Amino acid sequence: MNNIPGSTAVEENAVLKRLTFLDRFLPIWILAAMVTGLLLGRLVPSVQGVLNSVKIGQTSLPIALGLLLMMYPVLAKVRYEEISHVTGDRRLLWLSLLLNWLIGPALMFALAWLFLAAQPAFRTGLIVIGLARCIAMVLIWNDLACGDREAAALLVAINSIFQVFAYALLGTFYLKILPGWLGLGTQDVKFSTWEITKAVLIFLGIPLVAGYLTRRIGLRAKGRDWYEQRLLPKISPFALYGLLFTIVVMFALQGKAITSDPVSVMRIAIPLLVYFAIMWGAAFFIGARARLGYPKITTLAFTAAGNNFELAIAVSIGVWGVTSGEALAGVIGPLIEVPALVALVYVSLWLRPRLTRSFG
């Protein structure tokens, strides 16, 4: 069937038809959420004080709630009883570790020094972003691109564990030790392991436990058909509602800082765009060469390209202060990451039938 002329177009149309109205026009909703947040932050300065009045550590409670709402439906879809098949493919695990903890931080370090050598605060903020591997929004991008949910859940859990134990060490290495070896500027910084652990427990632990319990209880009480055909369709839209709410709040909190300094935004945006393109493209290519199959290739690509912006922002604010250049770089991170990875979702869906045909 895949050799029939025009079959690729048919497959693409089939994929698009499976997208809901909300999914299909997601870029428009995200753009509207970003603009709404920026306008709120710029035109209604008091909204920043209201949103910042309640915090969990350095993270606004509304952002935390939005992230939890965003992640819960995705994690409730994961078939935890089938995760064992992912652990059997050691190639996926090793490639993910290689891309996330060796190539990703090293690439961001190189781009930060290449593009922002004369801007130490922005450069440091960029490196901090590169060290924070994604544990939240990547589940949304992976789900929209029809990636392997079970693989994504496992890789996110592994990233979380590595984040707790490796983030502070890697921060010291890339901000102090490696620059010293290369004769570059160094920074003596200290990271709070507890703050990192707390961020992981809040943004992954809570929705993971909730999603797991929802599935276990739902399957036991009503069965798989009811759970997957009736309950999941009802709760699934809340993932995107949570995403859009988080974007509005996030950009409202930093709207004034972003709109008042567009030159700095552009300086930070360029290396970030290069980073997302290289990481996603390299991971997708490596996964395809390893013949992992489209779902796992997509999961590998998005888990490699995404970053944990909430942790990067919290660390930047905690170490250098809310008005610092490092914090501004952290805030600009999701400004660039969200539309970039949404675009890559559509690239993935475009590549899907072609990749499937080449394997088949």
Tens of pLDDT, residues 204-244: 788 888 988 999 999 999 998 999 899 988 998 888 888 88
**Residue 324 DSSP one-character state:** S
Q: Give every CB contact of residue 200 below 8 A, 6+ residues apart in sequence.
A: 135, 160, 163, 164, 311
**Interatomic CA distance for residues 275 and 306, integer angstroms:** 10
Q: How confident is the model at residue 313 (pLDDT cuts 50, 70, 90)?
A: confident
**Interatomic CA distance for residues 105 and 200, integer angstroms:** 19
Q: Residue type for 284, please?
A: F
Kindly state the tokens that stand for 74: 């995705």
Long-range CB contacts for residues 107-115, cutoff 8 Å, separation at least 24: 107/275, 107/278, 107/279, 108/271, 108/275, 109/174, 109/178, 111/271, 111/274, 111/275, 112/271, 113/184, 114/271, 115/267, 115/270, 115/271, 115/274
Q: How far is CA 19 from CA 25, 87, 143, 146, in A?
A: 9, 29, 11, 10
Residue 297 parent element (H or E):
helix 294-305
Q: How confident is the model at residue 8 (pLDDT cuts 50, 70, 90)?
A: very low
- Whether 12 has a pLDDT exceeding 80, the answer reads no
Contact by Cβ (8 Å): 77, 291: no
Of residues 271 and 206, the one with the higher pLDDT is 271
Give the pLDDT score at 248. 87
Give the pLDDT score at 115. 96
Contact by Cβ (8 Å): 292, 86: no
Of residues 264 and 220, the one with the higher pLDDT is 220
Three-state secondary-structure class, residue 307: strand
Give the pLDDT score at 283. 97
Over its C-alpha atoms, the chain yields an Rg (Å, rounded) of 20
**Interatomic CA distance for residues 104 and 159, integer angstroms:** 12
Q: How confident is the model at residue 187 (pLDDT cuts 50, 70, 90)?
A: confident
Contact by Cβ (8 Å): 329, 350: no
Residue with tokens 């709630």: 65
Give the pLDDT score at 111. 97
Average pLDDT over residues 108-130: 94
Q: How confident is the model at residue 130 (pLDDT cuts 50, 70, 90)?
A: very high
- Has domain 27-352 been given CATH number 1.20.1530.20? yes
Q: Give every CB contact of residue 87 below 8 A, 6+ residues apart in sequence.
A: 93, 154
Instruction: List, for residues 21-43, the tens digit of each pLDDT value.
Output: 666 677 788 889 888 988 888 88
Average pLDDT over residues 176-180: 91
Q: Give every CB contact of residue 159 below 8 A, 6+ residues apart in sequence.
A: 96, 100, 133, 134, 135, 303
- Whether 250 has a pLDDT exceeding 50, the answer reads yes
SS3 labels along 243-278: HHHHHHHHHHHHHHHHHHCHHHHHHHHHHHHHHHHH
